[in-house]
Structure 1
Amino acid sequence: MKRFHIALAVRDLAASIADYTTRLGQHPNAVVEGKYAMWRTELLNFSINQNPDRAGQLRHIGFEDDSAEGFTSTSDVNGIEWEHFSTAAQDERIVAMYGVPVSA
C-alpha cells in the first residue's frame, strides 16, 4: 500500500482532531495526548502536531510506502521536506518523537 503523506502544525490538538475526524470520516489511528495525531485512510496518511506558533503551516509531505526500507527525508528544489517511510518506520518515529500513542 502506498499513501500520500501530509503533515500540518495546528493550534489546538483536541479541536483539530474533532475537525479532521469529521473531514476524513474516521477517527485517528494514533493520538499522543496534547502533541500529535495521525490518520491512515485508504489513500492518505495525514498527521498533525500541536505547534501554535506554526498553526496552519505545512510541516512536510511525502509517502508512506510499505515497500520502503526505513525512513528517509529530503528537500525538494523549493525547500519542502519530503519523507518516504514504511508504516513500521513511521510508527517507530512517532514513539521516538512524541511518545507512545493510543488509538482513538
Structure 2
Amino acid sequence: MNMNMLMQQAQKMQKEMEKAQKELEEKVFEIKSAGGGIVIVIKGSKEILSIQVDDELIDKDEKEMLQDMIVVAVNEAIKTVLDEEQKILSKQTSGIRMSGLF
C-alpha cells in the first residue's frame, strides 16, 4: 500500500469517525436502575436530560440510600454511553490495514 492511499484511507476514516461521533452525541439513552425505580435519560454527549425517581423510593429516613442509588444510576448511564462510543470506535477501526508500514 503506497503512502498516498494510506493518507486517503486515514482521511476517510477520520470523516466517518467525526460523523459517528456527532450521531452519538445526539443519541438519547434511557437507563433504568434500582429495579426501574430510577430512570436516567442521557444524551451521547453525556448531558443528563432527566432523572426520574419513583415515589416509592422517596423516604426521608432513607435519603442516603436514595442518593447512593442515584449515583449508581448516573454512573450506569455514563457507562452505557462510553460502551456505545467504544463500539463505534471498534467498528470504525476494524478495517484498518497496517501492513507495509514497518
Specify which structure has the higher proportion of strand: 1
Shorter-normalised TM-score: what interval?
A: under 0.3
Normalised by the length of structure 2, the TM-score is 0.22
Normalised by the length of structure 1, the TM-score is 0.22
Larger radius of gyration: 2
